[in-house]
Structure 1
Amino acid sequence: MTHSYDMPLGLYIGGEWIGAQGRDTQPVLNPATGAVLGELPLASEADLDRALEAADRGFRAWRTSSPQHRAEVLGRTAALIRERADHLAALATFEQGKPLAEAKGEALATAMVLDFHAGEASRIFGRVLPRPTGTRSMVLQQPVGPVAAFCAWNFPIMNPVRKISPAITAGCSVILKPSEETPATAIAVMRCFIDAGLPGDVAQLVFGVPDLVSRHLLASPVTRKLSFTGSVPVGKHLMRLAADTVMRTTMELGGHGPVLVFDDCDVDRTIDALVMHKFRNAGQVCVAPTRFHVQQGVYERFARGFADRAAALRIGDGFAADTQMGPLANPRRPEAIGAFVEDAVRAGARLLTGGDGLGGGGFFFRPTVLADVPLDAKVMQDEPFGPIATFRPFATDDEAIAEANRLPYGLGAYCFTESGRRQNRLADEVEAGVIGINTVRLSWGDSPFGGMKDSGFGSEDGPEGVAAHLATKAVHIM
């Protein structure tokens, strides 16, 4: 099958697609080759003002729409995502680099999120409180208002839907700024919503200089909620901006996923699951397993087995049928990953495999496994967001839990043990918003996804993701 990058790049404001005329642009790159795919127009302040005006109009109309109508739009969007999954996957592979099969899986998982929200539209409940005859006290759940949403490039199909879908389920309008590195994928997703019948004023799509866009949207009294997926430093900056208008926020920030491997686990099955999960999307996943703490009795066997499987992964262009890991998303990432490796080796870590790029064109870096990594190495403090797995041994359960909780991050965590007593303890004591015990899957449409500590607060997905877009109002009638 021949794939082409044929999506016109532009902004979507007030039901109108807007091109580059008179606007600054920036190139969109193919991470597998470094070639320029297209020129993306960037929103001006006047464009952002138009988007705010449209979102204000859209909210006033959409909040009165029936739950059934919202469900119909969401359901049709899910059907279009499935129908266009091959095209969406190709755009994601062009722009972000992940293998084509991985991108198609992302599209199909995205449709399942929309399916859940379609059902959830009719499950936004208030309640009536017991009061004397002739009086009423009610608790109402109402849409909070227009939402400014910002999302990252690593899941270019799923991330835009995770912002738009719960907002419109709740009755809110939304201004979405996806990553400028994966714009055509976000545009194709927006077209699914539009073709499903979402009114033009309800969802806006803008690209631009991130600081200009965020400051402009968050300073406006129109915007009543911020939803952000991205790094901890940027998230903290946006929270400060949002504080000026006492804006509600949902923050899905970075992680540094601990993996606790105990000596009673099925070692080979656990390695097989974790290698594929660690290096999916080239490790560019906020809940990627990164810090592997392995009990002493199986430590060397586990680390060597993991490194051997990682070294065997086929690295290349995401459109190649045999590719198991694609390039990193932009030219900044290989240099950053290389710096982590050099620092760790200098600190005393053993390099078991990888540690360098592939050479030639594209932004590739080999799957890298480091053993005996000192705690003061930079990679043990900061999220690498790339294809690095670090290994350290532990002796006791207490030591493993302490290591899992050592950092200020608390997004995803993984634990592997056959002991039911230990599983319960880990569920209680590991500080993470999402924990997988004997599984690597942490994301489901009907389950909340979010973190704690510096990894943020609030949830996407599940009823909690919709509830984050609702304001609670008590009404007393006497």
Structure 2
Amino acid sequence: MAEKVREFTLLDLDDVRLFINGGWVTAASNSSFSLSNPSSGEIVANIPRAGQKEARDAISAANEAFPKWAKLTANDRAEYLMKLRDLMLENEDELAAIMSIEMGKAVTEAVGEVKYAASFLSWYAEEGRRIYGETIPASATNKRLFVVKQPVGVIAAITPWNFPLAMMTRKLGPALAAGCTGVVKPASQSPLSALAFAKLVEKAGIPNGVVNIVAGATREISDEIFENPIVKKISFTGSTEVGKMLVEKSAPQLKKLSLELGGHAPFIIFEDADLEKAADGALASKFRNAGQTCVCANRIYVHEKIKDEFAKIFVEKVKSLKVGNSLDHTVQIGPLVNEEGLKKVEEHVTDAREKGAVLLHGGKTHGNSGYFYEPTVLDNVTKEMKIMTEETFGPVAPLTTFSSDEEVIHEANDTVYGLAAYLYTSNIQRAVQVTEALNFGVIGLNDAIPGVPQAPFGGMNHSGYGREGGHQGIRDYLEEKYISLGL
């Protein structure tokens, strides 16, 4: 195939299979779907299209594996997780290349994601050892009161295409550490990363059925996950619209559900900020993964006193970004994931310019093939433009101004979303007051990349609920059982 820059040792792209109960299987329907490289549009692989049967088989396998996995000691499960983490790091270049050809992430950035994904395994290998119970003072001398924590059972992880490895390990790490077994449904745009990960699960010797990967018919797989009573907890990362539907689907069985949904992050630069650092931060946040992240800077608010100076510095940095094939190690901006994503970016830029936005850089597609769009900076953006209310999910930075703290706090909070926000200031009083006033689950204070495995990540309002990362991230995979002992 044209996309095989080299042979992969983890996957044979001419014979891709699903991973269920420790075995590699095709779909019972014998149907498949094709996966294309967004840098070139050429077919990378054909993926078996899993449906209800494969989802049910995966859930049954996880259920059968659960009792033995749950009874292992925390140390035993930690050892498996650390083996898996080491294997990820040993194969980071190949995992990065697989990720790059399936969803377009610049390969140097993809290597960083592999490391980030592996860090969730090592963090939760340790966190699983700290699942502590409680002893409660009794109200009678002939009683003893205890709380113990136990794994919820079989879980399902529905992962997004934009961070195919990191979002998977951020869910599987705590689940496996807690003693759960599970099923992963990767996005149809990036199933190869999950299946390559399954090869490492196999190499690590993790028992059959503990981890299962099914890609394919989204509705069929999702319906089975939500309707099958064996599945006790579901973690989903994706759009707010889909998240709302999943809440309804979870209601009949009252399944535990955690949601990391859309965002529309404000990036605020005050007049006392270090403009070089602020520009570097805005660059890193906005153009990471070609702007295809839920936490990237979507609305850049610059104090009116420094706007022109900041814009000049920022645009020069944006001009230095290289666009091109995602496997090129000198490239910072790869393609958008598909044609639909590219069209949305074009629509937002056209709408903004028609309503008065000023183009400072970029503003058009790049090259003759693939889904490339130039890193773009728009000035004089107003709230009437789509780009200020909808997620663009592309490499477009809209600049607007503000004149007071109160004004920018109001504008930043004027959204249904509440995932991430950023501010740059050298004033400690302002830093405290503004971070407390912003209604977002994650705040980057003079920090454009705040996500780390040891800290909780999640949103407010229409950006979802529940937290991943930190000690908080393992809670949803545990049930608390109260025991009253009569003596």
Structure 2 counterpart of 1:68: 75
CA contact (8 A) 2:21 2:209 kept: yes
- State how far apart, in whole Å, the 1-side matches of 2:399 and 2:6 are: 39
Q: Does 1:385 align with 2:356?
A: no
CA contact (8 A) 2:59 2:182 kept: no
Structure 2 counterpart of 1:12: 19
Residue among 459, 463, 475 paired with 1:467: 475
- State how far apart, in whole Å, the 1-side matches of 2:197 and 2:219 are: 24
The alpha-carbon deviation at position 60 of structure 1 amounts to 2.4
CA contact (8 A) 2:258 2:466 kept: yes
Structure 2 counterpart of 1:248: 256
Amino acid at match of 1:268: E
The alpha-carbon deviation at position 167 of structure 1 amounts to 0.8
- State how far apart, in whole Å, the 1-side matches of 2:95 and 2:266 are: 32
Structure 2 counterpart of 1:24: 31
The alpha-carbon deviation at position 2 of structure 1 amounts to 5.5
Query: Could you say what secondary structure the match of 1:121 adopts?
Result: helix
- State how far apart, in whole Å, the 2-side matches of 1:76 and 1:28 are: 30
- State how far apart, in whole Å, the 2-side matches of 1:320 and 1:223 are: 41
The alpha-carbon deviation at position 149 of structure 1 amounts to 1.2
- State how far apart, in whole Å, the 2-side matches of 1:303 and 1:475 are: 62
- State how far apart, in whole Å, the 1-side matches of 2:318 and 2:416 are: 28
| 1:34-433 aligned within 5 A | 34-131=41-138, 132-433=140-441
CA contact (8 A) 2:27 2:54 kept: no
CA contact (8 A) 1:161 1:189 kept: no
The alpha-carbon deviation at position 163 of structure 1 amounts to 2.0
The alpha-carbon deviation at position 305 of structure 1 amounts to 2.4
- State how far apart, in whole Å, the 1-side matches of 2:403 and 2:143 are: 63
Amino acid at match of 2:361: T
Structure 1 counterpart of 2:460: 452
Amino acid at match of 2:268: L
Amino acid at match of 2:103: Q
For structure 2, the residue ranges without an aligned partner over 5 or more in a row are none
Query: Could you say what secondary structure the match of 2:374 adopts?
Result: coil
Amino acid at match of 1:389: A
Deviation >4 Å, runs of 4+:
none
- State how far apart, in whole Å, the 1-side matches of 2:423 and 2:225 are: 40
- State how far apart, in whole Å, the 2-side matches of 1:54 and 1:461 are: 27
The alpha-carbon deviation at position 205 of structure 1 amounts to 0.5
Query: Could you say what secondary structure the match of 2:392 adopts?
Result: coil
Q: Sequence identity of aligned pairs in percent?
A: 36
Amino acid at match of 2:257: T
CA contact (8 A) 1:314 1:323 kept: yes
RMSD: 1.5
- State how far apart, in whole Å, the 2-side matches of 1:262 and 1:3 are: 48
- State how far apart, in whole Å, the 2-side matches of 1:44 and 1:212 are: 5
CA contact (8 A) 1:148 1:174 kept: yes
When structure 1 is superposed on structure 2, of 127-136 and 406-415 the one drifting more is 127-136
The alpha-carbon deviation at position 133 of structure 1 amounts to 3.8
CA contact (8 A) 1:20 1:40 kept: no
CA contact (8 A) 1:23 1:43 kept: no
The alpha-carbon deviation at position 5 of structure 1 amounts to 5.3
CA contact (8 A) 2:27 2:50 kept: no
When structure 1 is superposed on structure 2, of 8-17 and 250-259 the one drifting more is 8-17
Query: Could you say what secondary structure the match of 1:224 adopts?
Result: strand
When structure 1 is superposed on structure 2, of 14-23 and 141-150 the one drifting more is 14-23
CA contact (8 A) 1:261 1:415 kept: yes
The alpha-carbon deviation at position 85 of structure 1 amounts to 0.6
Amino acid at match of 1:290: N
- State how far apart, in whole Å, the 1-side matches of 2:327 and 2:45 are: 19
- State how far apart, in whole Å, the 1-side matches of 2:81 and 2:400 are: 45
When structure 1 is superposed on structure 2, of 170-179 and 132-141 the one drifting more is 132-141
- State how far apart, in whole Å, the 2-side matches of 1:67 and 1:133 are: 33
CA contact (8 A) 2:284 2:448 kept: no
Provide, for residues 297-354 of structure 1, a one-character-per-residue CA deviation record: whole Å limited to 9, x for no partner. Answer: 1012212322232133110012223211111111211111100111111121112111
Instruction: Report how many aligned residue pairs link the two structures.
Output: 478
Query: Could you say what secondary structure the match of 2:422 adopts?
Result: strand
Query: Could you say what secondary structure the match of 2:383 adopts?
Result: coil
Query: Could you say what secondary structure the match of 2:129 adopts?
Result: coil
- State how far apart, in whole Å, the 2-side matches of 1:406 and 1:23 are: 49
The alpha-carbon deviation at position 20 of structure 1 amounts to 4.9
Query: Could you say what secondary structure the match of 1:446 adopts?
Result: coil
CA contact (8 A) 1:412 1:442 kept: no
CA contact (8 A) 1:77 1:192 kept: yes
Provide, for residues 436-466 of structure 1, a one-character-per-residue CA deviation record: whole Å limited to 9, x for no partner. Answer: 1011121111101111110001011111111
The alpha-carbon deviation at position 393 of structure 1 amounts to 0.4
- State how far apart, in whole Å, the 2-side matches of 1:331 and 1:19 are: 28
CA contact (8 A) 1:416 1:438 kept: yes
- State how far apart, in whole Å, the 2-side matches of 1:83 and 1:5 are: 14
Amino acid at match of 1:190: A
Query: Could you say what secondary structure the match of 1:242 adopts?
Result: helix
Amino acid at match of 1:109: Y
Q: TM-score, normalised by structure 2?
A: 0.95
Provide, for residues 42-67 of structure 1, a one-character-per-residue CA deviation record: whole Å limited to 9, x for no partner. Answer: 11322122112112112222221211
When structure 1 is superposed on structure 2, of 216-225 and 351-360 the one drifting more is 351-360
For structure 1, the residue ranges without an aligned partner over 5 or more in a row are none
CA contact (8 A) 2:265 2:420 kept: yes
- State how far apart, in whole Å, the 1-side matches of 2:411 and 2:381 are: 13
- State how far apart, in whole Å, the 1-side matches of 2:230 and 2:29 are: 26
Provide, for residues 168-221 of structure 1, a one-character-per-residue CA deviation record: whole Å limited to 9, x for no partner. Answer: 111111110011211221111122222212211111110112122111210111
